[in-house]
């Protein structure tokens, strides 16, 4: 069957007009109850729902700062009998906006949490930040900001080719490049991408470290789900990070074009 030619300019044209947002990020944890306790008591998240799937030997929990239909949330997955995962180096951290970083850090310490960077200005900037780790070693950056409708505000990924990655997220997922900043003194460049302003919606922070072309994705991967498309696929983006997205209507010609252009691997999943 002949396939219609698809140019780079019209690939997934729906992205320019459709309303989209990041729904949730999925990752594996070794102790679900312990992680829920840390997120609710230290980070102020709410347990939105929890389910156990004994026939498939796993359980998961959804946590966030508001309802799933309007907020970006985390989906924690616990696989029966597995208490440890390799996070890898491709995943960097999650970002959470708080009004008082020092106060949050004190709470984390009081609850026995791990602080890996004390509160202070970001390198080359003025924003006060701190870094903490959850019980499984996933890192969270605390960013001092005013009130925001989306406190769970960032997912940071490390990439080996920043320009290629920016183009991929623009073409495949319809994200916008919100800003890009080079930091030659510290030998890295970042690009912020998303579906809306950083202070009002969750965004991706893509980080390129000078000269580093590959990263280990590990097996505790994070998986980002975007809305509102009925058919699901898994994309293994250059062997670094795994994303689950939903794509509207017919995927054949348009997505195959992206598959060829960006060297991704396409794997169908259940809807």
Q: What is the per-residue DSSP string for 220-239?
A: S--EEEEES-SEEEEEEETT
Closest CA to 241 of 222, 213, 268, 214: 222
- Compute, in degrees rounded to 10, the torsion defined by CA atoms 6, 12, 14, 16: -110
- Let me know: does 92 contact 133? Beta carbons within 8 Å: no
75 is in an annotated binding site: yes
> Could you give the CA distance from residue 176 to residue 99 in angstroms, rounded to a whole number?
27
Assess whether 55 carries a catalytic annotation: no
Catalytic residue among 141, 144, 150, 205: 141
- Let me know: does 105 contact 119? Beta carbons within 8 Å: yes
- Partnered with residue 121 across adjacent β-strands are 128
Q: Give the residue carrying structure tokens 């390129």.
A: 208
55 is in an annotated binding site: no
Read off φ and ψ for residue 157, nearest 5 degrees.
-125, 145
Q: Does the N-terminal peptide bond of residue 174 adopt cis geometry, omega within 30 degrees of 0?
A: no
176 is in an annotated binding site: no
> Could you give the CA distance from residue 137 to residue 87 in angstroms, rounded to a whole number?
8
> Which residues are part of the catalytic machinery?
141
From the annotation, which residues make up the binding site for Zn(2+)?
A: 75, 93, 141
**Residues of the binding site:** 75, 93, 141
């Amino acid at each position: 069957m002949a396939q219609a030619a698809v140019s780079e300019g019209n690939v997934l044209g729906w992205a320019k007009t459709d309303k989209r947002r990041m729904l949730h990020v999925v990752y594996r944890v070794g102790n679900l109850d312990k992680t829920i306790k840390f997120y609710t008591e230290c980070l102020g998240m709410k347990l939105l729902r929890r389910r156990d799937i004994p026939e498939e030997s796993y359980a998961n929990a959804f946590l966030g700062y508001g309802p799933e239909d309007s907020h970006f949330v985390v989906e924690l997955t616990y696989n029966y009998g597995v208490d440890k995962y390799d996070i890898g180096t491709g995943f960097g951290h999650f970002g959470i906006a708080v009004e008082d970083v020092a106060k949050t850090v004190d709470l984390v310490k009081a609850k026995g949490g791990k602080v890996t960077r004390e509160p202070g200005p970001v390198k080359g900037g003025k924003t006060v930040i701190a870094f903490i780790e959850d019980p499984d070693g996933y890192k969270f950056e605390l960013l001092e900001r005013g009130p925001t409708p989306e406190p769970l505000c960032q997912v940071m990924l490390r990439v080996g080719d920043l320009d290629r990655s920016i183009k991929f997220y623009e073409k495949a997922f319809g994200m916008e490049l919100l800003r890009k900043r080079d930091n030659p003194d510290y030998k890295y460049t970042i690009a912020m991408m998303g579906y809306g302003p950083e202070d009002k919606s969750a965004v991706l922070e893509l980080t390129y470290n000078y000269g580093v072309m590959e990263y280990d994705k590990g097996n505790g991967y994070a998986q980002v789900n975007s809305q509102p498309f009925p058919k699901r696929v898994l994309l293994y983006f250059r062997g670094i990070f795994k994303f689950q997205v939903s794509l509207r209507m017919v995927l054949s010609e348009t997505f195959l074009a992206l598959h060829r252009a960006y060297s991704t691997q396409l794997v169908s999943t259940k809807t």
